[in-house]
Amino acid sequence: MKPRQRVPRYGLGIAGLAASARDMLPGRLYAMVAPSARADGEDGSDGMLGIPLACLAATVAGALRGDGRVAAVLHSAPADFLARLGSHGIDAGRCLADGRLVVLRQTGDYAAHLAHHGAQRFLDELDYLGVRRHSLVVVERAERLFSAGDGREAVEQAQRYQHWFAEAGATGLLLFQPSPRGGAALRALDDCCAGLASFRAEGPRFLWQVRYWLSPLGSISQREYGLGFDTHGTPLIADGSEIESLQAHIQQAPDQDRVIATRAVVDGEQGVPAHWRIVDDLGGLLESAEGAIAATCVIDFHGGDQLRVLARAVHYLRRSCGRGLRIVVRERRLRLRYNDELLLLRLGANSVVYAEVGFSRFLSLVEALHGQAYSGSVPDDFESAVQAALPPPHSGYLTPIAFCEMVRECMAQSAHIGVESTLVCLYLTSETAHLDALRACRVKRPGDLFTADGRSVWLFLYACREPDADTTLDRVFGDALVQMFEGHTRFFAPIDILGAIDGLERSLYDAPAADYSAQLAEATDARATAPIATEPAPAHAAPTLALIRHPLDATPAHEIRASRQPLPLTSEHAR
């Protein structure tokens, strides 16, 4: 049997840093935010100097000392980067020659390339230029990989990048600059990113500020580690100090009294506090909240397709700004479903204020949050949290066995966010036929299910709490509730619901129940999620990456010409 290939593991090049804040998982993306040594924009000036370059060079050197392979995608000239590798004892020329190190220089107008050819072009070039499986890929000025001003497209680009890294088993370390474009890119990347950290200057020393970081040891959030240089002045080392950001900053945060609200939150209201900052929309709020520590963000919910965008924004704000930030969602016009409300609270919201609450009372509720910290555990994976809150993809009649199985699945899934549901057993009168009672059951919401055994109708109401059970039963059955049933038993606690389902299932072995599917003729089709559209890379596009073959090569010795054939779409291309 062929021995299984060992997958290299990579970690940041900060000596003495705790493994939980340093090590990275294969197939995942990590983001690092660091200002350049001098202010630079899109003018092509060198953005990988000082602290960022020291960290990336040490990271690459550590990978090359082991059995790793590295691809470095540079915006700046590669000479400084290769020289730093030499200071770490790495023979860059040898590594370039044997293919363990691939250095790629970004060329041309990257934003124009991205707008014209799409994100797939960048990934195709990584494949074509010899980036191998299980490599460490470091990218300077990574904000240039994302479309500016189009949040939806940027999210799709982030998902495509993450898919490529997962398929290749590669580890991605993306370096961003603090800027409006960088902030927008990080928001798009949030759901695909396993770690986000930044460098921050504090007097004569530097701090490694971890917002969240997933390592083989687990996940951490809101931590800071002091950094310094060794006696030679180049490699970064942790100085041994570690503090929890919440304890260190929230009590004396300069933005304790700052409130940022979307315009729809206060539309039509009188007496809006003068110190509140009102922004036009959610995008403006996210930009204004960058770097916030203990401010209050108030976001409107007005229904429609806003919920997913709102949930993603809440998750991003909580993970990027920490527990000191206060996030309030105010219903406007439409109300959130109970499970959607729980989802927002699970993702990081401090409070959801109902639509019927008056503005004066609303202001009091916002003020009452002053000084409070979020105490929940924020999930690392946004999509998994959303899936746990979604109602099951069925509604209406199911056969008794299928009903039991679906109720168990619902209870297991919803336990992750604490959704409360209701199970009702309704006893038929002697004059009522099963089919008539089932036809009288009018459920509309996804997750509301019903079936029948020998003498009863069973109704499962997903995300229905005990105080709402009577109203919901009246809505489902109307007058038939008293005309067709002689009574009912309700179950609310999860252990009671599952116990009743077990009893129903046992009874079916002794007295099998009829299947009324054909008579009721109701379809219970599962929802399907449309895949993200993909576009092929143009056959004759100009190159965006150039391969560096030798440390002394100041200009690329090899470029892809526009006259070449289409780039291969696999990573098996032999250089």
List domains and CATH numbers for the chain. Answer: 10-198 (3.40.50.300), 259-385 (3.40.50.2300), 391-513 (3.30.70)
Listed in sequence order, the residues at least 6 apart from 141 whose beta carbon sits closer than 8 Å to its beta carbon are 47, 48, 75, 106, 175, 176, 177
Q: Quick one: pLDDT at residue 244?
A: 55
Residue with tokens 């939150």: 265
Residues 216 and 40: their CA atoms lie apart, in Å, by 35
Q: What angle do CA 28, 30, 35 make, to 5 degrees?
A: 165
- In this structure, the number of other CB atoms found within 10 A of the CB of residue 449 comes to 26
Nearest residue to 419 via CA among 409, 405, 432, 429: 409
Q: Which residues pair with 172 in a beta bridge?
A: 29, 137
For residues 276 and 270, the answer to whether their CB atoms sit within 8 Å is no
* Cα dist from 145 to 123, 338, 532, whole Å: 10, 38, 18
Nearest residue to 324 via CA among 368, 294, 367, 347: 294
- The answer to whether the Cα torsion of 181, 184, 186, 189 is positive or negative is negative
Q: How far is CA 425 from the centre of its chain?
A: 39
Residues 92 and 89: their CA atoms lie apart, in Å, by 9
Residue 565, phi then psi, degrees to nearest 5: -70, 165
Q: Quick one: pLDDT at residue 246?
A: 54
Residue 452 DSSP SS3: strand
Torsion of CA 513, 517, 520, 524, to 10 degrees: 130
Residues 321 and 352: their CA atoms lie apart, in Å, by 19
Residues 264 and 280: their CA atoms lie apart, in Å, by 8
Nearest residue to 83 via CA among 49, 114, 106: 49
Residues 352 and 355: their CA atoms lie apart, in Å, by 10
Q: Quick one: pLDDT at residue 564?
A: 31
Residues 104 and 107: their CA atoms lie apart, in Å, by 9
Q: Which residues of the chain have pLDDT under 50?
A: 1, 37-49, 233, 245, 522-540, 554-575
